[in-house]
A and B are shown apart, each in its own frame.
Chain A
């Protein structure tokens, strides 16, 4: 059996790669992809803890799976709205470079 820490290290690595992508990219679509990667690494954590809790208690719990399914639905909603915002920005500015969209800058 694989120790829990391996999963946590793995998901932390994915989270950091996603965070680097969010911070370093200019293209809004690439930024959104980094956000997806981070969200996914959180789900890995959730399911790893679920697996180990079920093994320690010797009884499967179904609640975390429901939680993960709800996270998927929220991720889908987030992506749809994010991409719609990008399309809307493109309509107005013909440009989706995030650092150029600075109309709200004071």
Chain B
């Protein structure tokens, strides 16, 4: 059995994380949804830190909770899409199916915990320098140079794609320019 403090820490992380995910689902305002998602990403980053991956934890905070969520909030506010409509699951049977499948999942988890006696014997925590950023960086630039470069190409393609998509077609642009000139 793990020490009580560890269990409490994990329980807090798990409950806050799952609770914020449920909050993301139930809140009717997209801004609140996005803020719940930020909370969820932050608790998951804490989990990565506990798992011994500080580099990934901080990348999670900067990339997910920082960059991606700022983009989400920007788009929500720009489009004025705060109001979320009611759930689109109009089929009655689907809701029943969801409840049944959820119960099956819960039963499966309970069965697993009973059959495996809850907690299997685990090896002791080794004193290793887990996932320290220098080692990850060396790995990234030595053994995984090609995937790293491919990632940069993916990011470039995404950037160009995003610009092209949001720019609109030629007719759009001409119409917007004409409207601007008329106003001036």
B100: interface (CB < 8 Å): no
Contact with B along A58-98 (1 / 0, CB 8 A): 11101101101110111111111101111110110000111
The listed residue (B140, B155, B162) touching A66 by CB distance below 8 A is: B140
Complex alpha-carbon distance, A98 and B37, angstroms: 20
- A69–B130 touching, CB < 8 Å: no
- B168–A29 touching, CB < 8 Å: no
B2: interface (CB < 8 Å): yes
- A55–B98 touching, CB < 8 Å: no
A74 proximity list for chain B (CB < 8 A): 151, 154
- B59–A29 touching, CB < 8 Å: no
Complex alpha-carbon distance, A56 and B4, angstroms: 23
The listed residue (A14, A16, A18, A51) touching B105 by CB distance below 8 A is: A16
B79 proximity list for chain A (CB < 8 A): 29, 86-87, 90, 96
The listed residue (B34, B136, B155, B165) touching A88 by CB distance below 8 A is: B165
Q: How large is the interface on B (under 10, 10 to 19, 20 to 34, 35 or more residues)?
A: 35 or more
B109: interface (CB < 8 Å): yes
A23 proximity list for chain B (CB < 8 A): 89
Chain A CB within 10 A, most for which of B34, B51, B138:
B51
Tell me the residues in window 15-36 of chain B with beta carbons closer than 8 Å to chain A beta carbons.
17-18, 21-22, 24-25, 30, 33-34
Tell me the residues in window 95-154 of chain B with beta carbons closer than 8 Å to chain A beta carbons.
98, 102, 105, 109, 112-113, 116, 119-120, 122-126, 128-131, 135-136, 138-140, 143-144, 147-148, 151, 154
- A33–B140 touching, CB < 8 Å: no
Q: How large is the interface on A (under 10, 10 to 19, 20 to 34, 35 or more residues)?
A: 35 or more
A32 proximity list for chain B (CB < 8 A): 72
Complex alpha-carbon distance, A13 and B33, angstroms: 18
- B64–A72 touching, CB < 8 Å: yes
A9: interface (CB < 8 Å): yes
Contact with A along B69-108 (1 / 0, CB 8 A): 0011001101101001111110000000010001001000
Query: Which 10 A-B pairs have CB atoms at the shortest separation, nearest pair first?
Result: A77-B158, A84-B162, A84-B165, A62-B139, A17-B21, A26-B88, A24-B87, A1-B122, A88-B165, A73-B151
